[in-house]
Structures are given as structure tokens and as C-alpha cells.
Amino acid sequence: MKIYIDADACPVKDEVYKVAERHGGHVFVVSNSFLRVPSLPYITQQVVDAGPDEADNWIAERATRADIVITNDIPLAERCLMNDARVLQPTGKAYTKSNIASAIATRALMEQLRSTGEQFGGAPPFSQRDRSQFLQALHEVCVKLKRGA
């Protein structure tokens, strides 16, 4: 089992490391620049070329049905779901084949509204509850993958 982190803005990297160690997963921390990651045998840092989609491309080309991707990036989530990878947001919410179309439509609508000058607040601040939900969700996905579900 591999866990790919779209790492540049991911608030739950430390939680991923803990769960991966517990379940015997290998973590790939993918970013456009150097990030400080623990020097452990099950963690690999992958720095890709600068560019808006380079990290996404690296992850999407490798993630398979036996893998987990951690991202808030909806287009990346869609690409990984096409390869049957499991995809989690840092809040613990799963992107699935049944909810990704809705997420893409909402993203497009919000982009269109922003382009007209409409102002909207951003996402709510990342909370301890989000962190806890993420830990639980990642643990559950790891257990399912290990069982072959």
C-alpha cells in the first residue's frame, strides 16, 4: 500500500506518517519544493519540477487501486479515481466516483462566480475535529485495503 500526499499545502502530513507506520504503508510526499520530512525508511520525498500540475501529474501517473491519495485538489482526485485509487481530503472526507462530478461542478461554479467579482469567504479554518476525522478515515481506508476490499 502506497500513500501519496499532495504535500505543498497539506496540513495532515504528520498524521499520515503515523498511520502509514502502523499499517505498513509507504508514503510519498510530493511537492514542487523541498519540504522537511522525517528520515524514515517508509517515507520518500519526491520533489518535482516547478509548474502548476507537475506534482499532480506525478501522483496521477502512479496511484492505483491499492493506493491512497491525500489531496484537496479536485481535478487530481478525479484523475486518481479513474485509476481506482482511494482519495481523501485532509478533513477525512472521501472523494468517490459517485461524488466527484458534484465536486467538479461546484468548483466550476465557484470559479465562475469569482470571475464575475463576487466575493466569498474561503474554507473554514482547519480544526482539531478535522484532524481527528482524517485520522479515523485514513485508518479505515488502510484497514479496507489490507483486507483486499
Query: For the chain, which residues make up each domain, given as ranges?
Result: 2-120+127-147
Question: What CA–CA distance (Å, rounded) separates 39 from 29?
Answer: 12
- The pLDDT value recorded for residue 139 is 97
Statement: residue 92 has pLDDT above 90: yes
Write the CB contacts of 143 (distance below 8 Å, at least 6 apart in sequence): 23
The amino acid at residue 89 is: Q
Q: What is the pLDDT of residue 58?
A: 97
**Order of all β-strands in the sheet with 86-88:** 43-47, 26-31, 2-6, 67-70, 86-88, 94-95
Q: What is the pLDDT of residues 33-78, one digit of tens each?
A: 999 999 999 999 999 998 889 999 999 999 999 999 999 999 999 9
User: pTM for this one?
Assistant: 0.89
Greatest Cα pair distance, the chain, in angstroms, is: 49
CATH topology of domain 2-120+127-147: Rossmann fold (3.40.50)
